[in-house]
Amino acid sequence: MTGRAETLRVGVIGTGAMGASHVTTLATSVPGAEVTALHDVDAPRADRLAAEVGAASVPSASELIESDRVDAVVVASPDATHELLVLECLAARKPVLCEKPLALGVDGSQRIVDAEVVLGRRLVQVGFMRRYDSAYRALREAVLGGDLGTPRAVHCVHRNAHAQPGATSDSVIMGSMVHELDIVPWLVDDPLTGITVVAALSAGDAFADLQVAVLETASGLVATVEVFVNAEYGYDIGCEVVGTAGTARLTAPYGLARRRNGVDGRGVAADFVERFVGAYAWHGVTDYVDGSSPDGRPRSW
């Protein structure tokens, strides 16, 4: 048991849905964290939110990053700005949590990795919050602890109720399937070596809103992934790891079951906020300061 660490002062860039959610979580649910500065190109929106949490609204992102009152930064601004802002944080030697994507392409991501390597210190986390979900963590412990024998296969399901406006066949992979590409190698501690994607596409479909992938890893494990962004019935995340000695799978954190009108049912989450609320609030100050997660895998949260 330890007492509370000193307060970490966080600046948040971007106050849209994700940014505002980070501000609320940090201000009310993360012991040891304090939101001291906000920036948004929509200054009035940043001003309002800043007033609510007692933070300063700062006129530019660079000023926020360099501020003496900011120990760590959250980047939740539009995708195109991520790479530059993260590089600025590295230059200022401040820990940064960047919402996905880290950059717009492979080259940009590589530039960030290179900068961090030069710095010799890990400061960047990407917003893969599942690693902080208690169920995913229990699943990983079961796998790495040997409970399932040798892992041989993984099955992932990722369903959103409704596609976001402007969704494309590409964004299904970049915005949704990317979570599975992060979590599978993390769960089995085994890097990906190959991926095959098959779109379920009928004549007349505007884009491939349901896609299936087969992933292969270095050790010979195979994973299947379904991503369906128009599942309609709700937000649903499934994961099963199959080993030589048994299997383990996520079960939804239902809490309550009802029997009504001939159905014995449980509620499905409406969206990722409802499903992963605990994961967003989980990590404490230590994770920010040293850029590490408790499992010794520092690059993401």
User: Using CB under 8 A, which residues numbered 183 to 202 contact a second copy?
Assistant: 196, 198-202
Residue 45 CB neighbour total at 10 angstroms = 16
DSSP states of 193-237 = EEEEEEE---TT-SS--EEEEEEEETTS-EEEEEEETT-SS--EE
H helix or E strand, kind and range, residue 169: helix 169-171
Measured from the CB of residue 62, what is the shortest distance to a second copy in angstroms? 26
Site for a second copy in 261-280 (CB under 8 A): 261-268, 270
Assess 145 for contact with a second copy (CB under 8 A).
Answer: no
Instruction: Give the three-class secondary structure for 241.
Output: strand
Q: 117 vs 253, which CB is nearer to a second copy?
A: 253
Euclidean distance between CA atoms 215 and 211, whole angstroms? 13
Instruction: Give the three-class secondary structure for 184.
Output: helix
Stretch that binds a second copy, among 96-104, 164-172, 220-228, 286-294 (CB under 8 A): 220-228
Site for a second copy in 68-87 (CB under 8 A): none
Stretch that binds a second copy, among 94-102, 114-122, 135-143, 166-174 (CB under 8 A): 135-143
Q: 85 vs 139, which CB is nearer to a second copy?
A: 139
Assess 252 for contact with a second copy (CB under 8 A).
Answer: yes
DSSP 8-class letter at 132: G
Contact 291, 298 (CB under 8 A): yes
Q: 258 vs 297, which CB is nearer to a second copy?
A: 258
Euclidean distance between CA atoms 213 and 177, whole angstroms? 9
Q: 165 vs 262, which CB is nearer to a second copy?
A: 262
Backbone angle region of 291, left / alpha / beta, with phi > 0 → left and psi within -120 to 50 → alpha: left
Assess 60 for contact with a second copy (CB under 8 A).
Answer: no
Q: Out of 31, 59, 78, 146, which residue is the one contacting a second copy (CB under 8 A)?
A: 31
Contact 273, 21 (CB under 8 A): yes
Q: 106 vs 257, which CB is nearer to a second copy?
A: 257
Measured from the CB of residue 18, what is the shortest distance to a second copy in angstroms? 14
Stretch that binds a second copy, among 64-72, 102-110, 151-159, 288-296 (CB under 8 A): 151-159
Q: 34 vs 189, which CB is nearer to a second copy?
A: 34
Assess 231 for contact with a second copy (CB under 8 A).
Answer: yes
Euclidean distance between CA atoms 169 and 126, whole angstroms? 23
Q: 266 vs 297, which CB is nearer to a second copy?
A: 266
Instruction: Give the three-class secondary structure for 102.
Output: coil
Q: How many angstroms separate the Cα of 172 from the Cα of each of 59, 164, 252, 275, 295?
A: 34, 10, 23, 19, 29
Assess 206 for contact with a second copy (CB under 8 A).
Answer: no
Kindly give the pairing relationship between strand 96-98 and strand 124-126: parallel
Assess 242 for contact with a second copy (CB under 8 A).
Answer: yes
Structure tokens at 167: 């969704």
Q: 29 vs 60, which CB is nearer to a second copy?
A: 29
Euclidean distance between CA atoms 77 and 68, whole angstroms? 21
Q: Out of 1, 106, 118, 206, which residue is the one contacting a second copy (CB under 8 A)?
A: 1
Assess 230 for contact with a second copy (CB under 8 A).
Answer: yes
